[in-house]
Structure 1
Amino acid sequence: MIRRFSTLYVGHIELDHCGLSGTPADERRYPNRRLTEVFDTAVALAHATDALGYETLWLAEHHFQHEGYECIPNIPLLAVDLAHRTERVKIGCAFNIVPTWNPLRLAEDSATADILTGGRVVFGVGRGYHSREVETFGNPMLDGEANRELFEEQVEIILKAFREESFSHRGKHYTLPPEVPYRGYRLKSITLVPRPLHRPVEVWQPIVSGSARSLDFMARHGIKGVISATAESVVQRWLQDYQAAAGRHGRALRLGEDVILGFRMCIDETQEQAIRRARPYFEEHAKFMAPLGMLRYSEEHVSAVAARQAQSPTGATLDNGVRNRSWLCGPPADIVAYLKELEARYPGLEHVMIAWALGTPRELML
């Protein structure tokens, strides 16, 4: 039964001239004063989600975006601030871009945030999809295999640090601890200080292409999945594949269990009115994300994601997104009815996340 609701804010500022006919994405450049507006918006959303009973406000980590689309560089740091301004809402990391971090620094910062917030920070990991981000931090993004290999080793280190009193690691990219003398003895293991107090640490990862390798990695390490703004037919296949992967690693899950299902959404009195209101922001979102190959509104999109290919911003329409249920547009009663359908179809599904397209004004989000 669906009983948990959350929302996602990826950190966009209020953009002018949204839509395919508006300002080209690569021509947007905002001054620092405008880019810092994301923190005020995050505070407003934290207060709203806290008051409305949402379980989690998810935030996204990104870097160097003078275009104003995704402007939060450090989720654990912001999460500590938001938790101290609110009463109960959790702050989720959707996602910490692990290849931009030293894995032990990410583990330390996340453990500290866990302690300072009383367990209200939800840990999430991602590989990244912006070459400007990951490559600038000195790690591979354009070489997809190298990126995945590094990410998997980094996550394994983080999980060891969280789960074990002391640990060592010998891998392709990291030797931990280094084989050096320390205070008269040779290091054999290290301890993360502090470790999270709230254990076991719940870990989430996006399901982006649904590859067998990624699902097996998640299942092997007990990582939960997030499927967001994805065509209905693809969702069903990925939920089945995730369930099967978990089963191969000894976890018997109901279909939909341990997965968050996310949607872009716009509510209005009729579906037509909702589509009309959402269209410029849908187009702005596609305009920015399609060249990165990150739309999943159709089977063709998913094939492009898996192949790491750019997509056309005009190859997706909001009407098709509504038809394939990657977008929910319409009156509340219609959306509730569809969620009831999902409950019947996926008996293990408990958690639904809603999100806004890039550029959606704060007044519409609230």
Structure 2
Amino acid sequence: MKAFHEESFSHKGKHYTIPPEVPYRGYTLKEITLVPRPKNLPVETWQPMVSATQNSMDFMAKNNIQPIIGGGAVTGGPSGDVIERWTETLDKHGYKDVQLGSRLVLGLPTFIADTEKEAIDRSRKYLEEDMKMFAPLGFFRSFTPEMIATLGDPQKAPTAGFPTMEETIAAGAWVCGTSETITERIMEIQDKYPGLEYMHVGCNRMGVEIEVMIEQLERFGKEVMPKFNVEKRI
């Protein structure tokens, strides 16, 4: 953060010295600058929250780090308990005007189509790629080691008990359907978490083709975003 907020900086720690004190154009280098400089200050720090231990929450609150709480990668969708504990942690560390949803990003994978069936059918394969990518990293907490081992086996995977897209939607981890369905779901989240200002939405999962990403972003921008008061930040 020193690099972002100071004109020039140096760091001496246990493992690194930045910059190394070496001769440079006739003098000993003591500080370096970050180029280009950040356009917006102060620079915000965001970090995915997965394990959501109290120690990690305390560290983030103490160091002004804001969490990104996932939807699709964490089976069951955004955790109300995690959000409540994060709100309590902010209050404990002296943050003002804290509400449920304050100082966090909520992730919600979405897929828009003309019908719910089409949205589910088209997005199904992307959930499978999500599981292959994130289950070995511990994001799908209900998966056993045996399930993870069969993820890449096309013969065993279909009968290994992995969640279907329908089950994932029912759990709240994804939202697939018409733009009206997506809008309604986000409004429900907005009502539940009045302090929420930021969401990470859309279909940019593992294996999604670039043309599908663009299509989904365009539909979300034209059919969903106009229903909300969205602040434009440059």
TM-score, with length taken from structure 2:
0.70
Letter in 2 for 1:358: M
Report the alpha carbon displacement of residue 326 of structure 1 after superposing the two structures with TM: 0.9
Matched, 1:339 2:183: no
1:202 is matched with 44
Matched, 1:242 2:89: no
In the alignment, structure 1 segments of 5+ residues that lack a partner are 1-158
Counterpart-to-counterpart distance in 1, 2:149 and 2:60: 27
Q: 1:351 aligns with which of 198, 206, 210?
A: 198
2:223 is matched with none
Letter in 2 for 1:279: R
Q: 1:218 aligns with which of 60, 64, 68?
A: 60
SS of the aligned residue for 2:79 comes to helix
1:327 is matched with 174
Counterpart-to-counterpart distance in 2, 1:183 and 1:343: 56
1:272 is matched with 117
CA displacement, residues 46-102 of structure 1 (integer Å, 9 cap, x when unaligned): xxxxxxxxxxxxxxxxxxxxxxxxxxxxxxxxxxxxxxxxxxxxxxxxxxxxxxxxx
Counterpart-to-counterpart distance in 1, 2:23 and 2:136: 49
Counterpart-to-counterpart distance in 2, 1:258 and 1:312: 38
Structure 1 residues 163 and 249 mapped into 2: Cα distance closer, same or farther (>3 Å)?
farther
SS of the aligned residue for 1:173 comes to coil
Counterpart-to-counterpart distance in 2, 1:333 and 1:197: 36
Structure 1 residues 225 and 320 mapped into 2: Cα distance closer, same or farther (>3 Å)?
same
Structure 1 residues 246 and 190 mapped into 2: Cα distance closer, same or farther (>3 Å)?
farther
Structure 1 residues 328 and 182 mapped into 2: Cα distance closer, same or farther (>3 Å)?
same
- The 8 Å contact of residues 205 and 226 in structure 1, kept in 2 or not, is answered as yes
* Matched ranges for 1:62-211 at <5 A: 159-178=1-20, 190-194=31-35, 195-211=37-53
Counterpart-to-counterpart distance in 1, 2:150 and 2:166: 16
Counterpart-to-counterpart distance in 1, 2:10 and 2:67: 27
In the alignment, structure 2 segments of 5+ residues that lack a partner are 152-159, 216-234
SS of the aligned residue for 2:128 comes to helix
Structure 1 residues 312 and 337 mapped into 2: Cα distance closer, same or farther (>3 Å)?
farther
Q: Which structure: larger Rg?
A: 2
Matched, 1:282 2:127: yes
- The 8 Å contact of residues 267 and 331 in structure 1, kept in 2 or not, is answered as yes
The alignment-based identity, stated in percent, is 38
- The 8 Å contact of residues 286 and 316 in structure 1, kept in 2 or not, is answered as no
Letter in 1 for 2:31: I
Q: 1:261 aligns with which of 100, 106, 119?
A: 106
CA displacement, residues 262-301 of structure 1 (integer Å, 9 cap, x when unaligned): 1222223443332222112222332343334344xxx525
CA displacement, residues 175-201 of structure 1 (integer Å, 9 cap, x when unaligned): 3344567788776x5242434342111
Say what the alpha-carbon RMSD is for the aligned residues. Answer: 3.1
Structure 1 residues 192 and 247 mapped into 2: Cα distance closer, same or farther (>3 Å)?
farther
Letter in 2 for 1:324: A
- The 8 Å contact of residues 262 and 355 in structure 1, kept in 2 or not, is answered as no
Counterpart-to-counterpart distance in 2, 1:161 and 1:316: 44
Counterpart-to-counterpart distance in 1, 2:180 and 2:91: 36
- The 8 Å contact of residues 83 and 101 in structure 2, kept in 1 or not, is answered as yes
CA displacement, residues 110-166 of structure 1 (integer Å, 9 cap, x when unaligned): xxxxxxxxxxxxxxxxxxxxxxxxxxxxxxxxxxxxxxxxxxxxxxxxx12212344
- The 8 Å contact of residues 3 and 34 in structure 2, kept in 1 or not, is answered as no
Letter in 2 for 1:218: M
Counterpart-to-counterpart distance in 1, 2:187 and 2:181: 10
Structure 1 residues 275 and 256 mapped into 2: Cα distance closer, same or farther (>3 Å)?
same
TM-score, with length taken from structure 1:
0.47
